Amino acid sequence: MTCAGAVADRSDELRAGVAASFEAAGSASVVRLDLADDAVELRFAGESLRDRLTPAFAHVVDPRGDRPPALTINLWDTRATGSEPPPRPPVPAGHAEGALYHFEEGSLRGVYRPGLEALSVLDGDAGVAWHWVADAREQPYWDEACPLRQILFWWLRSRGYLQVHGAAVGTQDGGVLVVGKGGSGKSTVALSALGTDLLYGGDDYVAVGVEPEPRVQSLYSSGKLEPEHVQDLLPHLAPLLANADRLATEKAVLYVHEHFPEQTTSGFPLSAVLVPRVRADRPDTRVVGVSRAEAFAALAPSTILQLHTADQSAFATMSQLVARVPCYGLEVGRDVAAVPRAVAEFLAGLSSR
């Protein structure tokens, strides 16, 4: 048998195995999303994962649900359904707690995280994916706030979008992508916009398209912030947190669509890239110049680190993006309430040019 035939056999076996495990989990409930101008169908066996994962997608739920899905994602957990786990890749004994194993078998791509007992598989040719966990109750808060990242990362690439590590705020006419490593102020900038006229596109992961025109696609309506930053910088959000009882071990999580539905959006044209820098020595916030190289350095490394299966084409897309849109720095002053006004005035200035 040829090597190609062996790969086809392995991929067929894996595809059949995960499909059989999902079907054995029982009847499924369906949630339809509108992402990247396409319908995505989430099929949940059991209520446990549905209850935990759908709040993050509340702002992109498709109320019509009348289009054939471009992607169907099947989701289930063994504890809630009693089904046998699907086949998973072998892992070395004594694997690291946070290890992630990526595999490609024919048209299948997948990641397995043994420490979380979580498996995600996408059949790109068929437009079908599977997401399994052993116990939905044991999944970390960051996966509930930003679920299905790897599946959406692969699928969005086929739709001309790249999922990036960044925040986004703006208006229907245009907005900004806020980029930088963890702790740079992305979430503070995005969540400070709540209660203002700006739209909230995301604060950790969003998707961007370059052609035909640069655009932001919102993925999640969840915001995450260090608990002390909520108390010190945005105390009015504290009563709205979804996990106020777990802040000793988790970041603060806020589901924006639940409390600010008029401010969530599916996306907007991308007008500029902003690189934030916290300036506690000054009260006001101002926009300053930065080079495109600085903007790329703020965007690319953190995206690659956050999304472990990105390849060289992701670097090329990010390079094209910073070449297509203007790039600036955002010096965030002590008065966080003034940040949205500075961003809105900046966007208004771009529109008038």
List, in order of start, the domains of the chain with CATH numbers.
Answer: 3-157 (no CATH), 161-352 (3.40.50)
| pLDDT, tens digit (0-9, with 9 covering 90-100), for 6-28 | 445 567 888 888 899 999 888 88
Mean pLDDT (the chain) is 90
Amino acid at 238: A
Report pLDDT for 2: 34
Reduce the DSSP state of residue 222 to 3 states and report it: strand
| pLDDT, tens digit (0-9, with 9 covering 90-100), for 69-128 | 999 999 999 999 999 999 888 887 766 667 888 888 878 999 999 989 999 999 999 999
What is the C-alpha separation between 200 and 223, in angstroms, rounded? 10
Report pLDDT for 3: 42
| Mean pLDDT, rounded, for 49-53 | 94
Q: Over pLDDT 90: what percentage of the chain?
A: 72
pTM of the model: 0.92
Report pLDDT for 312: 81
Residues in the chain: 353
Amino acid at 91: V
| Mean pLDDT, rounded, for 291-315 | 86
Report pLDDT for 7: 41
Report pLDDT for 271: 97
Residue-wise DSSP of 42-86:
EEEESHHHHHHHGGGGGGGB-SS--SPPSEEEEEEEHHHH-PPPP
Residue-wise DSSP of 123-145:
ETTTTEEEEEES-GGGS-HHHHH
| pLDDT, tens digit (0-9, with 9 covering 90-100), for 32-47 | 999 999 999 999 998 8
Report pLDDT for 105: 82
What is the C-alpha separation between 96 and 117, in angstroms, rounded? 13
Contacts (Cβ under 8 Å, ≥6 apart) of 132: 18, 21, 22, 75, 76, 77, 78, 85, 86, 118, 119, 120
